[in-house]
Amino acid sequence: MNDGIKNKVVIIAGASSGIGEATVRRLAADGAKLVIGARREERLKALAESLPQADIRYRATDVAVAADMEALAQTALDAHGRIDAIFNNAGVMPTANLSEKRFEEWKRMLDINVMGVLHGIAAVLPTMKAQLSGHILATDSVAGHVVYPGSAVYCGTKFAVRAIMEGLRQEERESGIRSTIISPGLVDTELYTTIADKEFGAQLSRAAKIPGIGLTPDDVAGAVAYALGAPASVAISEILMRPTNQAI
């Protein structure tokens, strides 16, 4: 058990599968008090019920809706009177060349990948500023550090998250609030089902299951736990992690 995590009140958005689910399981094992949200409430219920010894509350949450994130934060406050950390993990990854003009996909990516993070920050920041402590984490991506064809908008959303989280660090460092981005490469999750080109998405999904080609959600959850368990005097601003054989 990580003593730096035990009894911390942690909100996880995008908790119903993949990295979010793995992080719920990891932090529950470390003794955190968890408040979890995602759009699929039945998944959240099943996850909470699978961890009967853990302190978990859940709420159906769409990160693209600011009021939903405010309600998730209020759930934590009502239950525990404080918020120690939030992990903004929800994301989608449609891919296509800009020439295809997929306006609705672009908007959805911006709403979830960027506005979702901003909604999470806004929901907890007043509480954390009053506490003079807190930790805000977000799932970024290697795509927030490099750009490649077919993913200009997706990469743009992840570059935006990097900038937002660095701005947050600079603005709130004197309030005792830390920020961390976790930037994984290929991970074996459901993210690839959001790709319109189903064959390409299936190829990525198959590749992600190969050790050294893809990471596991547990790998990423371990990085979240490492950052979250650091002493209050230490800010882990960024963790960039790739499968050993990933080229970019």
Q: Known catalytic residues?
A: 154
- Closest CA relative to residue 92, chosen from 8, 194, 190: 194
Question: Exposure pattern of 178-204 as b/e (b: 16+ CB <10 Å)?
Answer: bbbbbbbbbbbbebbebbeeeeebeeb
The closest alpha carbon to 36, from 109, 110, 55, belongs to 55
Of 167, 182, 198, 129, which is closest to residue 23 (Cα–Cα)? 182
Both structure tokens of 25: 């399981």
- With beta carbons less than 8 A apart as the criterion, state whether 13 and 19 touch: no
What residues contact residue 83 under an 8 Å CB cut-off, 6+ apart? 9, 11, 73, 76, 77, 124, 127, 128, 131, 134
SS3 232: coil
Counting every residue, how long is the chain? Answer: 248
183 close to 240: Cβ distance less than 8 angstroms? yes
Burial class from Cβ neighbours inside 10 Å (0-12, 13-18, 19+) for residue 66 reads: middle
- Paired tokens of 47: 């996850």
Close Cβ partners of 70 (under 8 Å, ≥ 6 residues apart): 119, 122, 123
